[in-house]
Amino acid sequence: MPWALQETEVPAHHHEGMGLNLDDALARIEAAGLSRPYALSIPAEPGKAWSASYMPDKVEEMRTLYLDGSDGRVIADIGYGRFGHAAKAIEWGISVHQGQQFGLLNKLIMLTGCLAIWQLGVSALVMWWKRRPKGRLAAPPRPAGRRVYAALAAVVVPLAILYPLVGASLIAVLALDFVIRRIASAVPPSLEARP
């Protein structure tokens, strides 16, 4: 089911009769020419609309059919072209993000991004290990110049605004760091020297 249609409620039409069954639904979907493979959603209550969605890699080709739960006729046929501008943008973004929209090239670009994130994590550990005080597991010394902090803020602040959870996690880490430094500064030097 496309994200844009997940909360769509199609009104049920109540007619006399047995109602739609699986074989009838499949026959109606095939007759309507919905491409395979499609996902069929069977309603929880009799008489409610059935839906079948074709979700290809290219969002422009997606299509969803709604069948009347009583007689099986197609009551809605919704393709990407009928989405609003926001829904189109979101569906397109999801498809690109999942590496589907542009085929193998899209998947390779997303793979490159994932590998780059892994490399950042590994290189951060390597950098910390090289900069740590000799013979101790401790934080590296602070940079001497203020320019380093300005450059760091120029990168981090926009990311924290663009991604609020990143910003919240940075605030939490800074607060924790502040508390730990306060506690560490309150410990008498004689206690620090003990094994």
Three-class secondary structure of residue 139 per DSSP = coil
**Residue 75 has which token pair?**
């009551």
Q: What is the maximal distance between C-alpha atoms in the chain? A: 89
| Intervals of the chain under pLDDT 50 | none
Average confidence score pLDDT of the chain = 86
Place of tokens 């090239």: 105
Whole-number pLDDT of residue 40: 94
Distance CA 82, CA 79 (A): 6
How far is CA 100 from each of CA 91, 113, 161, 163, rounded to the nearest angstrom?
A: 11, 15, 28, 24
| Strand arrangement, sheet containing 63-67 | 38-41, 50-54, 63-67, 74-79
The label of the residue with tokens 């569906």 reads 91
What pLDDT does residue 175 have?
95
pLDDT confidence of residue 16: 52
The model scores a pTM over 0.85: no
How do the domains of the chain map onto residue ranges? 3-97, 102-139, 142-187
Check residue 191 and give its pLDDT: 54
